[in-house]
Chain A
Amino acid sequence: MNIWYEAHATLFQTTAIYVLLALSFQVVLKSGIFSFFSVGAFGIGAYTAANLATRGVPLIVTLLIVVVTMAAVGYLLAIPLMHLRGLYLGMVTFAIDEILVVVATNGGKITGGAVGLFGVPLEITTLGLGLVAVIGVLLVSQLERHNVGRAIEVLRGDEQLARSLGVEVGNYRKLIFALSAALGGIAGALNTMNFSTVTPGSFGFTLIVAGLTMAIVGGIGSWRGAVLGAIFVAWFPAVSTALGGYRSIVYGVLVILVVAYEPDGLLGIIRWVIRGGQGQLARRRSAVPAPAGAAPATPPGDSPAAPAGGSLATAAELGRSGHDATS
């Protein structure tokens, strides 16, 4: 057991970091905010931590600075961005990520240019990483309870209805964007402090794909999905070595199958198995607007409300959530 753990310590560390990144994506996607800024935040967090740690700032202080700064950056960024919806917001946040990569590549001493920064002191332990991930999970899971959970559920599918029920939609969106940025930032900081390097290539398009895969394959309806997705993405390459050259193909096919046939992701599949293969299908038929041709028997006039209830869904559906869902 101990030897096995030692051999896989890197995977545990990666999992903890991925959990935070996946949560960063999950909180925004769940709220109907189609944003890629998690990865930009990851980059800022990574470079901030590298600079602070090499100057001898203690670990805890570094992490706190990253969290507070990124939450503030996210909140301020949300003010002009939050009137954008769907793919437009996706495009803008994607562009911000790409700009940050360019800045990192040309940042002189602070970012180390194209080769990045090396030799950042390794201050964090695997246990420490796990602890931060658990705190992230606790914070995000509390968003799913009580009135906050209901408010997020309704504002995702039907913003106008949410407003008519007294939900401060704008404040929710800003807060969630700030939380997402903080989670992304802390993931980046931990990544740097655990692997001692950061390069412009470490938070580009590849990381966007990885983060989205974790959140969507796991299931964006809940923090549990993000955790599952992070575990899947972190561990799949290691546990599938027997597949050899076919590994990437199998990975791709699995991702496609989950996204196409199970809008609730791995989480949905697990729930379905727990219910003995019954409950979930019945639920699907009656209420959830499943993407793959399953005709939901919704009553007349229900169309604007359907996305409000259905546990989301695919990136394509997110793209059109927003104004047009509140006709």
Chain B
Amino acid sequence: MTPLLDVTDAKVHFGGVHAVDGVSIQLQDGALHGLVGPNGSGKSTLLAALSRMIDLTDGRLSFKGHDYQRDSAPAVARMGIGRTFQAVRVMSSRSVLENVMLGADAAIFGPGIVRNWLLPWRTRRQERQGREMAMAAIERLELTGMENHMVGTLSYGTQRRVEIARAVAAQPAVLLFDEPTAGMNRAERDEVAEVMRTLQAGGLAQVLVEHDMQMITDVCDHVWVMNFGKLIAEGKPEAVVSDPAVQEAYLGKRGEEDVNP
């Protein structure tokens, strides 16, 4: 069976810095994989490459059998690869509903601008459909009742959920999370973990970039470990945690974290 996401020998080099240096990974439909590694190991760069935010120096990206390493980021997003960012990025003076609808827009209205601009009577129906998709996502993220709250007034954890709802509203086939629980307390982390498990139960494939091993072992069924831009281990979370190479990269030489590229 063709994997949903198939990465072959991906390389991202910034001059002499080999941020991602020959990584090959596969993600099956509906799987929830973790991507871990020390600071600077290249996991966020890999995520940026997967969402086409940055170019591969070399290698191949394939989504449902279609090579997309040359497609643009917006096209890749519309194709069904959603993502979130490390920092909360929302329209803070807009309502929860408007923010989440923004996620559904590309899927419903398509990439055309002129038609959507000049034929507002035609887009009214699509607007209603987008609202329904957004409300469904809002319900899934348990934000019901908050749809008219301005996002800037909500707590940090809730804003995170708005972001996830926005990504979910696009109805992607795979969702890439870049440290979604950074800066959260344990209760908020558990909430996000619960959301991810629910999304997986609904058939959504996910990749979770994360520092917190607890979170990884809680939600992921498979883990990739990166260091110095390379994949150093992969497998079940429990097995990976006890891998000596992983322990060395992660725990044994903690003092080196800051000097890694």
Tell me which residues from 269 to 295 in chain A have a Cβ below 8 Å from any Cβ of chain B: 283, 286-288
Task: Mark B70-97 against chain A: 1 for CB-CB distance below 8 A, else 0.
Answer: 0011110110001101011111111000
Q: Does A163 contact B (CB under 8 A)?
A: yes
Q: Known contacts A283-B93, A299-B155, A308-B90; is A167 also within 8 Å of B106 by CB?
A: yes
Determine the chain A residues whose CB is within 8 A of the CB of B73 once the complex forms. Answer: 163-164
A contacts with B: majority SS: helix
Q: Does A171 contact B (CB under 8 A)?
A: yes
CB-nearest residue of chain A to B81: A164
Min CB distance A287 to B, Å, is 3
How far is A311 from B103 in the complex, measured between Cα atoms in Å? Answer: 20
How far is A169 from B117 in the complex, measured between Cα atoms in Å? Answer: 15
Task: Mark A305-327 against chain B: 1 for CB-CB distance below 8 A, else 0.
Answer: 11011110000000000000000
Partner-A contacts on B (CB < 8 A): 51, 53, 72-75, 77-78, 82-83, 85, 87-94, 98, 101-103, 105-109, 111, 113-114, 116-118, 120, 123-124, 126-127, 130, 150-156, 159, 166, 170, 182-183
**Contact call A305/B114, Cβ cutoff below 8 A:** no
Q: Does A240 contact B (CB under 8 A)?
A: no
Q: Known contacts A154-B102, A158-B89, A283-B93; is A146 also within 8 Å of B150 by CB?
A: no
Instruction: Name the contact of A166 in the complex, choosing from B77, B85, B150, B151 (C-beta under 8 A).
Output: B77
CB-nearest residue of chain B to A141: B120
Q: Known contacts A150-B102, A164-B73, A169-B74; is A311 also within 8 Å of B93 by CB?
A: yes
**Contact call B114/A287, Cβ cutoff below 8 A:** no
How far is A296 from B53 in the complex, measured between Cα atoms in Å? Answer: 30
How far is A146 from B83 in the complex, measured between Cα atoms in Å? Answer: 23
Determine the chain A residues whose CB is within 8 A of the CB of B182 once the complex forms. Answer: 301
Determine the chain A residues whose CB is within 8 A of the CB of B103 once the complex forms. Answer: 165
A165, A288, A305, A309: most-surrounded residue (chain B CB, <10 A): A165
How far is A93 from B118 in the complex, measured between Cα atoms in Å? Answer: 27
Task: Mark A134-167 against chain B: 1 for CB-CB distance below 8 A, else 0.
Answer: 0000010011011110110110011011111111
Determine the chain A residues whose CB is within 8 A of the CB of B124 once the complex forms. Answer: 146
Determine the chain B residues whose CB is within 8 A of the CB of A125 once the complex forms. Answer: none
Determine the chain B residues whose CB is within 8 A of the CB of A175 once the complex forms. Answer: 113-114, 117
Instruction: Name the contact of A150 in the complex, choosing from B98, B107, B113, B118 (C-beta under 8 A).
Output: B98
Interface size class of A (residues with CB under 8 A): 35 or more
**Contact call B109/A305, Cβ cutoff below 8 A:** no
Partner-B contacts on A (CB < 8 A): 139, 142-143, 145-148, 150-151, 153-154, 157-158, 160-169, 171-172, 175, 283, 286-288, 296, 298-306, 308-311
**Contact call A305/B87, Cβ cutoff below 8 A:** yes
Instruction: Name the contact of B117 in the complex, choosing from A143, A150, A304, A306 (C-beta under 8 A).
Output: A143
Determine the chain B residues whose CB is within 8 A of the CB of A161 once the complex forms. Answer: 85, 89
**Contact call B107/A147, Cβ cutoff below 8 A:** no
A150, A299, A306: most-surrounded residue (chain B CB, <10 A): A299
Determine the chain A residues whose CB is within 8 A of the CB of B183 once the complex forms. Answer: 300-301
Determine the chain B residues whose CB is within 8 A of the CB of A287 once the complex forms. Answer: 92-93, 150-153
**Contact call A309/B91, Cβ cutoff below 8 A:** yes
26 example contacts (A-B, Cβ-Cβ < 8 A) are as follows A139-B118, A146-B127, A147-B102, A148-B116, A150-B102, A153-B94, A160-B85, A163-B72, A163-B73, A165-B102, A165-B105, A166-B107, A167-B105, A168-B74, A169-B74, A175-B117, A296-B152, A298-B152, A299-B154, A299-B159, A301-B88, A301-B182, A302-B87, A302-B88, A304-B89, A309-B92
Determine the chain A residues whose CB is within 8 A of the CB of B102 once the complex forms. Answer: 147, 150-151, 154, 165
CB-nearest residue of chain B to A156: B91
**Contact call B153/A168, Cβ cutoff below 8 A:** no
Determine the chain A residues whose CB is within 8 A of the CB of B130 once the complex forms. Answer: 147
B98, B105, B114: most-surrounded residue (chain A CB, <10 A): B105
CB-nearest residue of chain A to B154: A299
**Contact call B117/A310, Cβ cutoff below 8 A:** no
**Contact call A166/B111, Cβ cutoff below 8 A:** yes
How far is A301 from B130 in the complex, measured between Cα atoms in Å? Answer: 28
Min CB distance A251 to B, Å, is 30
